[in-house]
Structure formats: structure tokens, C-alpha cells
Structure 1
Amino acid sequence: MSALQVPARPFFLDASPGRRFVLFHAPAPQTECRGAIIYVPPFGEEMNMSRRMAAQQARAFTAIGFAVLQIDLFGCGDSSGDLRDAQWEIWKQDLVHAIAWVRHHASSRIILWGLRLGATLAIELARSSPYPVEGCIAWQPIISGEQYVTQLLRMRQAADMVATEALEGGTVQTLRTALKEGKIVEVGGYELPPALVADFDHIDLGTLDGLPCPVHWLEMTRSENASIPAARMDTVNAWIDRGIDVRVQSIAGPSFWGTREVVECPALISTSVQLLREAIA
């Protein structure tokens, strides 16, 4: 840890229902607070695999004068509640509580930063937040919630096949049927409750309209010469056609949220820092 950095302060933030576990990173000592950033984590095991990257990015942001609040959403991590009771709207309200706290204790200049499903949640909250949001930094946002759920169910199907329990687990379609019947499906040690899956299924960033702030969309690619998938660029172009201020940039590096071992992507961190430097210049 740099001598100019102070340890993050953990505490529980009052919310509804219950409380949320948060980590607050103050700006580096003797550095003017230029704004506050709220980190919205991805879902499930992706949250655990990306903790190192999130911590490194948070410290990099504080080094240039930003306060950072990392939050565990309802039913996730060390926060109150069970995942089986989680809802998309509860998670949005978690972010509203986080913004209110940060405005009171750090800065009224708010930027939302999220990864994968967390990036999608940040973008949606920016549209409806009762407090102004100056921008979103979106790392690899989920565009289609329905496709995302299908990917999760395929992971469950693959795990069943490896464990030779295919008859019990079934296909993606049978798992979908179980959810529609109100049954909870477990994926990678995490429960997928039917109500939350229904919330996910309604997510479609391609139809988004009327964002009040710019979105800095950072997309991971396998190599420097690799192009962003056409389907994802279709969403970006649709936003531009609707007047949304979206600025997409590709970063060569690993999909660190989905690897079996904890890996880093320094280029993503430095690019994110540069985005803020340019925003406050």
C-alpha cells in the first residue's frame, strides 16, 4: 500500500430492508476530493473473482482524488437478506442509499462504476436516480438479461453433466420450466430465485432511451486487434442514434470475472483512471 493511501473503512449502511455491507475508500490524504464513485459488483461468483481488480481500481481512483464506495447488494456478500428474496428494484434502492450517504459524507459529484450485471444495474439506476449522476463507467455490461440467464443455466447444465447428474439437473429448457413453476435453481453455489430471474429476463439495454449522463463503455477483447462483437456494437450504435452519449473503447485482456484463477488487467485500470482524468481536466 502506498504511503499516500489509507485503508478502506468497512461499515454497514442502513437500507431497506436491513443493512448493506460497504467499503469506503477516502481520497488520498492532502488530495482535494474531486468526486465520489460507487462500485456496483457483478452477480454470483463473478463478484468474488473480480474482488482483486475492484480493489486495485478503487485505490487507483483514490490516488487521483476520488472517494470510492463499494457495496454488497441485498442478499449478496456480507449484506442483509437472502438471495432468494432479492429483487432488481431492491438493488436499485441499495444504490440510492449509497448515493445519499456519499453525497452527505464525501461529494455530491457522483459517478457510477459497475462490472457485468453491476454495470447494467448502474446504467439503469442512472436513468431513474433521484440524485444527479454525472457519468457511468461500464465494464463489459450485460446487454440482454434473458441471454445472461441462459448462460447461467448452461453453466448449471454443464456442471450436471460433469457430475453425471443430468437426469436430475436437466437441460436449459427444463431448468427454465422449473423456474416458471416457482422452483429455485442453484448455479455455481448460488440460488437463482424465480422472481429475480424474471427481473433479469426483462433487461434489454438495446431498447434503453433517455440517459441523462455519458456512459464510458469499456469492452474486453482477447487481443489488441480483436473487434468488439457486432451484436454488442449494434447496441452502442442504437444508443448513439437515440442521442445517448456513449463512448466505447476496447481493452485487450482476460475476462477476469470468469476465470478459474484470480487474474488482473492493468490496462483496464489505467484506462479507467485516464477517463476520469480527462473528465475532470
Structure 2
Amino acid sequence: MGRSTNSSAAMHPRFRAGRQGSLFEVLFLPQDRQPRGVVLHTPPFAEELNKSRRMIAQQARALAREGWAVLVPDCYGCGDSGGDFADGRWELWVDDLADGLSEVMDCYPGPVTLWGLRAGCLLAVDLAERLPFSLRGVILWQPVVNGQHFLTQFLRLRMASGMLNGEAAETTRALRERLEQGEPLEIAGYTLHPQLAAALNRARLQPPADSVLWLEVSGSSEEEGSGASLSPASQRIVQGWRSQEVRVEAQALPGEPFWATQEIGTAPALIEETTRWQVQHG
């Protein structure tokens, strides 16, 4: 992999002022050396973030050890940042991510990579369109490609909860109508605001940079993951991007779907391949 001789990374948790309130973020830095560039993580949605924190931190440390400044933020209304999930707005999240990236770049100038996970890949796409400079590349972990479909899956969590509690069944169509009428919905412990739902519903994955790493996990072990391939939908998108002269490295790797497992899961192969790609393209 061409690993650097410096194998240490420092973690710096901090709060900063966001556009609507306090934001919590962790900056991972290589020790005793100037970062060669910046990696910004764009986080997943709702409970998927909590399930993924271990993997995100492990990857951030691995990249920092190789020489990058890695910023891992909690969006407003999420995690340890201010506000409640009901206060979250897509546009606000993108603006706050851009501000955080700009602040880190002021201290550590260099090429920038965005690294998204699940619905965070959609945030990365929106952010990439607004940046006034070209990205070094974008890393997509198990990307959500269609926000409308993802919203439907999220609404089904409310349907499932209602059925378990013996409540009258609600259809996703009925739930969407309530959102369109301006009614926030409580879903799996998260209050979804209609504006956030509408923005997620519109979001689609578009080529965010000239160089992309697209990784998915399949299987829970090396043996089960051997011979795995991307989903058919992902393969179609990757082929389409390549036809647009986007350099896409894409593969499925062994590992658990850590963003959705009951217990905290990991996918070490994902970290290894991501770090290899970042070092190779650095």
C-alpha cells in the first residue's frame, strides 16, 4: 500500500458555531507532520449514523495515519450537535459541511476528498456541486442512489412499528401525503420534518468528481464475500458514469452491513481498500 512511516494519528473533538447552532465534530490529524490534504466525511441518515460510528472512526484514523486531515462532523440536529433531528434541513447540512471544510482547509491547505456513507453520499454530491474548486476524488460507501426510494424505506419503519403495536396499518402513500401537508412524522425515534423529507425525496446520485471509489459490502466473511459483485442498480450507474469519462473504481467487499446490524458491526476490508485507494491517488 505504500504505507507511511508515521503510524500515529491524533483525535481532536471540538464544537464550532454552525449556521443554526452548535456543531460537534472530530478532526483526525497525523502526528508530527503536515497533512497532505483534507478528507471530509458526509454522514449517513438517522440511526444509520449511530450504527456506523465505529467504522467511521476507524477509517478516519487510518487515513490520518497516512497523512490526511480527516473531518468527521455531526450535522445540526444529529449526534452531539445542537438542536433535535426535527430541526435538521438538507440545505443547512450542506452549508454547514461546506463551512467546516473551508475552516479546515484554511489551516491545512491541499487536495480535498469527500467520503460519504449511505445517504451521506447524496449530501456529498450536493456539496461537490457547490464547491468553487475541483475535488481530488470522492469515496462512496454503500451509496444510496435514489433519495425517493430511501425515504420510502425510512417510512416503512413507521409502518412496521405500527403493526407491532397493533395499530391501524398506514401506507407509505398516506405517510407521504401527511408530510406534503406539512406534518412532521415520528419515525423510529426521529421526528422527520416535511422540508427534510422533501429534499431527501428529490436527491439523486450524480457523478460528484472525475475520480470516484465506489465500495459495497457483501457477506460477513472473506469466504462469504469472495466473488461478490455490485448490485445490478449500482453496476448500471457505474457503467453510465464511466461512459461519461468518470474514473470509477468499484467493487463489493466482504463485511457486515454495519449501518443496519443489530449489534455494532465492522467491515475491515472496506477500510483497507479505502486507505489503499486514497494513498494511491494522493
Is the TM value for this pair above 0.5?
yes
* Structure 1 residue 232, shift from structure 2 partner: 1.7
Which residue of 18, 25, 36 corresponds with 1:15? 18
Structure 2 stretches of 5 or more lacking a match? 1-5, 220-224
Rounded to whole Å, the distance in 2 between the matches of 1:265 and 1:216 is 16
- Secondary structure of the 2:183 match is coil
Alignment partner of 1:40 out of 39, 42, 58 = 42
Verify: 1:221 aligned to 2:221, yes or no: no
Alpha-carbon shift at residue 132 of structure 1 (Å): 3.7
- The structure 1 residue matched to 2:262, chosen from 257, 260, 265, is 260
Work out whether 1:193 is the aligned partner of 2:190. no
Query: Contact 1:127–1:212 at 8 Å: present in 2 too?
Result: no
Is residue 173 of structure 2 the alignment partner of residue 173 of structure 1?
yes
Aligned runs of 1:114-133 on 2, under 5 Å? 114-133=116-135
1:219-256 CA distance string (max 9 Å, x none): 11222223211112111122222233322121121110
Alpha-carbon deviations, 1:171-221, whole Å to 9, x = none?
A: 22221121122111122111111111110111122xx36x44311111112
Q: Which runs of 5+ in 1 are unaligned?
A: none
Q: Residue 26 in 1 paired to residue 26 in 2?
A: no
CA distance in 2, matches of 1:245, 1:13: 35
Would you say the 8 A contact 1:99–1:131 is kept in 2? no
Contact persistence 1:39–1:71 (CA under 8 A): yes
The normalised TM-score by structure 1 is 0.91
Aligned residue number for residue 73 of structure 1: 75
1:12 partner amino acid: F
Provide the aligned C-alpha RMSD in A.
Answer: 1.8
Residues 9, 61 of structure 2: 8 Å contact kept = no
Instruction: Give aligned-pair identity as a percent.
Output: 37
- What's 2:3 paired with? none
After superposing the two structures, state which structure 1 stretch, 146-155 or 231-240, moved more: 231-240
Following superposition, the deviation at residue 99 of structure 1 comes to 1.2
How many angstroms apart in 1 are the aligned matches of 2:133 and 2:81? 23
- Aligned residue number for residue 149 of structure 1: 151
Normalising by structure 2, report the TM-score: 0.90
